[in-house]
Amino acid sequence: MTDWIVAPTIPARFAREMLAQLRLEPPALAALLQRSGLSAQVLRDGQRIAPRHYRALSRLAVGSGHDEAFGFFARPVPPGSFAQLLRLLVHLPTLADAFDEAARFYRLFDDSLPWHLEKDHKSARLVLTPRTAVQADSTLWPHMLLLALWHTGSWLAGQTLPLRQVVLPEALAGFAAQTRFLFGRQPLCGTQALLELPAASLRAPLLRRPEEAARFARHLLQTLLSPGPAASFEAHLRGLLSAAEPFAGLSEPQAAEALGMSRQTLARKLADLGTNFLGIRDDLRRDLACSLLVRGSMSVADLAQLLGYSEPSAFQRAFKQWTGLPPGAYRGGKRTAADGD
C-alpha cells in the first residue's frame, strides 16, 4: 500500500530544517536527496514529502552527518548513542528518573538540558528548553523531541503513556494537522513546547531489558512518523476512502456505514481527534494530487476528474488552498494547455 494513504505527507519545511543543519556542499546534498528518492524541487515552500521518502532522508542524514540529533546540538551525537542510553535507562527505578537522566545525558552534547520535568500531585509536564534561536524557531526540533520522549517513555513503561496535552509554540499552529496525526490529539498553542501526562505515569516502573534497546532504537525514526494510538482510527478511515471510486468519493454517511457506526459516532470520534470527515478527505486528495503531480504522469484536467471535481478550475482552487501553489507550479515543469493554471 502506498504509505501516504495511511499517513499524511510531510511538509517540506521539516526536511529543509533537517538538511540545513548538515551544512552539506551542493553536490553532496543533491546525492543525498537522490538516494532518498527526492529532487531539490521538493524542498520548496508548499511541497510535501511522502513518509517513506522522509524516513529514507532521515536515515541518510544521520549517516551523512554522523549525528543522531541532525546538527541541532552544539556537538554531534554519534550514531549508537541513543541505543546505549536506553541500555542505561532500563536500570532506573521509575520513568521520572529516566526522563531526568536522559536530559542530563544530552546535556553532554549541548551544554544545557534540552528539557526539564515539572510535577505536581496531578500532572507532569515535559517542557522543552531550547538553547539557541535555531532550536526555538524550528518546526522539526520540537516535534522530534516531544515524539521521541513520548514513544521512548511508552516503550520503557511497556504501555502507551496517556497524553493530557500537547502544546506547541503559536508559530507552529499551521502544522496542527501533522501534530494531531502523530500524537493522536489536537495540539494547543502556548509559549513553550511541552507534553502533559498524568503524574502517576511518571511513577511507573521500567519494564524493559538492555537487550531490547537496539531494536527499539533501530526503528525509532519509523515510529516517530507512525500514527499515535488514537490516530490509528484516522489512518483506517484514510485507507477506506482511498479504496473508494472515485478516489475518496465516499460521503460521510457511507463511510460511517462501512465502518459499522452511525454518522454521529463517526463525527464524534473525529472531533475527539480535533478533525472532521471533510478535512481528512481533503488531506487524502491533496496527498494523491501531490504524488501524481511530482511524477508528471497526468494532466491537471485528468487529475481533477480522478479526484471527483466537476471542473479543473475547482481542483486548481482547492490545490492552491492546500499547498499555497497552483498545480503547475507545484509540479515545477512547463505549464501546458491542459494544465490551465
Report pLDDT digits (tens) over 8-40: 889 999 999 999 988 888 898 999 999 998 888
pLDDT at 188: 94
8 Å CB contact between 340 and 281? no
Query: Model-level pTM?
Result: 0.77
Percent of the chain with pLDDT over 70: 94
Give pLDDT tens digits for 262-273. Answer: 999 999 988 888
Q: Match domain 231-331 to its CATH number in 2.60.130.10, 1.10.10.60, 2.40.160.40, 1.20.1050.10.
A: 1.10.10.60
Contact 277, 240 (CB under 8 A): no
Cα–Cα distance for residue pair 228/295, rounded to 1 Å: 30
Residue 125 has pLDDT above 90, yes or no: yes
Contact in structure between 171 and 181 (CB atoms under 8 Å): no
The answer to whether 233 touches 259, Cβ cutoff 8 Å, is no
DSSP H helices in 23-94: 26-35, 51-65, 81-89
166 is written with which cell numbers? 500537547
Domains of the chain, residue spans: 3-65, 81-223, 231-331
